[in-house]
Amino acid sequence: MVLTLLFEALSSIFMGEALAATVPLQGTDVAGSWDQLYFFLVWLSVFFFVLVVGGMLYFAVKYRKSVAPRTKYITDNHLIEAVWTVIPAILLMVIFGWGYNVYVKMTQAPADAYEVRVIGKQWLWQFQYDDGRTTIGELYVPVNKPVKLVMTSEDVIHSFFIPNFRVKQDVVPQMYTSVWFHATIPGKHQVFCTEYCGGSHSQMAAKVIVLDDQQWLSWKMGRKIDLTTLPTQGVGDDALAAAVERETEAKKASAVGKPGSVQLTGLAQEGKSLMQAKGCIACHSFDGAKMTGPTLKGVFDHDVELADGSKVKADENYLRESIENPNAKVVKGFSPVMPMFKGLISETEMNAVIAYIKTLKE
């Protein structure tokens, strides 16, 4: 395509690293096509902006009252009006065609794509694989193979958005929608929910874990992947997020004159990571802040008042029940909106999570 060639010539001149940083990492080939069209539009816009606003400023200065007291009586000019009607119309048709072309690439999944089922619910993403396994907050896929997600929602509309792959699709209750991608870079890629879905919408995140061939084989055999060894690609840097969290905690601690974080055991540390990965932190704070769900700070071994006014002691069994079947005993002042985790969390994971909750003392 002539335009593509022209674009490449232009981009080598104009596209520095700074400009490339204004869009996310290119995690797929489609992302590359998207960027070409996007930057074509950026430069076309710069051209028209300079034409219009530059023209406006030039005329405004050149024909200011003090130097141009006499005007010229002009009411119209059919030729120039035809030019600025027809040329933009043609350009717009080119943009439309190009946009549709990339859109088809984005939406037409190859027939041999590896399929994963996705369920969105307030406020987590759940992934279901062919072998019956289910993960929450982490979508495991192979690198360099087409992957198709067949998605639905359990409650309200959500939207599955992977910035690095430039794909997004609403996830609608009682119907299937799908999205596909062909990831080219192994590592962790950020997923956002982009259709407002209530309370913890902005924390309804997940990661696409793109595995290289060896890791993929090991995941297929049921082994656990050590996520700490995988790099974060583009935005969603865990270390950065952790730094922000530490800073917030330190601010709060210094405000109340308390010491900072406590050293965690290996099991509790694992529980904390699990609670981040499974999306618990979308609704439950560890520091006493009231969010969509009750805070977990100081909850263990204390009495909890329920919606019906009765009290129950938050021991291991209460925590377990509240994770597996949250609507059984809802805390007073909160809505029964937490999804059931029965069958979605293993016994070892449950132990780790409870071990961490125990460390969150008043």
Partner 1 sequence: MSSHAHAVPGSNYLNNETGLWSWLKTLDHKRIGVMYLFTILFFFFVGGLFALAIRLELFTPGQTIMDAATYNKVFTYHGAIMVFLVIIPSIPAALGNFVLPMMLGAKDVAFPRLNLMSYYIYILGAVVALSSLFLNGVDTGWTFYTPYSIRASSGTIMVVLGAFIAGFSSILTGLNFIVTTHKLRAPGLSWSRLPLFCWALYATSIIQVLATPVLAITLLLLIAERVLKIGIFDPALGGDAVLFQHFFWFYSHPAVYIMILPGLGVISELIPVFSRKPIFGYRAIAYSSFGIALIAFIVWGHHLFVSGQSEMANFIFSLLTMFVAVPTGIKVFSWVATLYRGSIRFNVPMLYALGFLELFTIGGLTGVFLATLAIDVHLTDTYFVIAHFHYVMVGGTLMAMTGGIHYWFPKMTGRMYSEKSALWAFILILIGFNVTFFPQFIVGAQGMPRRYWYYLPEYTTLNQISTVGSWFLLAGFVWVAIYLWQAIKSGEKAPNNPWEALTLEWQSPSPPPLENFEETPTVTSWPYEYRPEPSKA
Q: Which of residues 89-148 bind partner 1 (CB under 8 A)?
A: 89, 92-93, 95-96, 98-107
Which positions from 181 through 200 interact with partner 1, judged by CB under 8 A?
190, 192-200
- Pair of tokens at residue 255: 């405000």
Sites for partner 1 among residues 274-303 (CB under 8 A): 289-292
Least distance to partner 1, CB of residue 220, Å: 30
Mask for 210-249, x = binds partner 1 (CB under 8 A): -------------------------xxx--xx-xxx--x-
Q: Which residues pair with residue 158 across a beta bridge? A: 171
- Sheet-wide strand order for 114-121: 134-136, 124-128, 114-121, 146-153, 177-182
Enter the tokens of residue 70.
């006499």
Q: What are the beta bridge partners of residue 171?
A: 158
In whole angstroms, how close is the CB of 30 to partner 1 at the nearest point? 8
Task: Give least dist CB 150 to partner 1, A.
Answer: 12
Q: Does 55 bind partner 1 (CB under 8 A)?
A: yes
47 token code pair: 């051209």
CB of 353 to partner 1, least distance (A): 21
Among 174, 173, 171, CA closest to 195: 171
Between vectors from CA 228 to CA 222 and to CA 211, what angle results, nearest 5°? 50
Q: Is 79 in the site for partner 1 (CB under 8 A)?
A: no
Nearer to partner 1, 240 or 262 (CB): 240
Size of the site for partner 1 (CB under 8 A): 92
Contact positions with partner 1 (CB under 8 A) in 337-356? none
Task: Between 99 and 110, name the residue whose CB sits nearer to partner 1.
Answer: 99
- 157 is a site residue for partner 1 (CB under 8 A): yes
Stretch that binds partner 1, among 160-168, 180-188, 214-222, 318-326 (CB under 8 A): 160-168
Among 34, 127, 300, 356, binds partner 1 (CB under 8 A): 34
Q: How far apart are CA 169 and CA 150, in angstroms?
A: 10
List the Cα angle 120/215/347 in 5-degree steps: 55
233 vs 27: CA distance, rounded Å = 8
Integer Cα distance of 97 and 102 in angstroms:
9
Q: What are phi and psi of 24, to 5 degrees?
A: -70, 170
